[in-house]
Amino acid sequence: MRTDADIEQEIAILRDLPYPELCELWAKQYGTPAPKGTRRLLLERSASYWLQVKRFGGLRASARRALKSATMEVEATSRAKARRLQVEGQGRNASFKSSPAALRPGTRLLRQWNGKQHLVEVLEDGFAFEDQVYRSLSAIARKITGAHWSGPRFFGL
């Protein structure tokens, strides 16, 4: 008869397996290759979970039903929120110009960054910054900070 110490030893062995073998275990358990870039710790935990399922059994049917119900509720809430945001013009696919607070040409945006003030003027077809025209606020935010930023977020819109 196997003991709890046996399962602990089996789990400990997983920590020593090479990454490709952990990926093979994933493929065997899920029927699909491990997603590209999957971290080793996730592969180890997944393999550990399946060892325990084999040994002790999986979730009871009532627990699976409760999880499925909770998942469906979260998904429905997320879909409703996404629809509401799109109607309001703030969804991911909504254009910047269609938002209720669309910037009108001539509007000036001022942002302080690292002790320096940066002024951007809204044009009909872009944004003027330091005598150059940019298509997006994100490009200007990247120029100012040297890192990728959401332009509207950087300028507080």
Mean local confidence (pLDDT), 61-89: 81
Task: Say if pTM beats, i.e. exceeds, 0.85.
Answer: no
Name the residue ranges covered by the structural domains of the chain.
4-56, 103-154
Confidence at residue 68, expressed as pLDDT on a 0 to 100 scale: 92
Strand partners, 119: 110
Q: What is the mean pLDDT of the chain?
A: 83
Convert the pLDDT of each residue in 123-155 to its tens digit: 888 899 988 899 889 999 999 988 888 888 888
DSSP notation for 81-121 = HHHHHHHTT-STTS-GGGSTTPPPTT-EEEEEETTEEEEEE
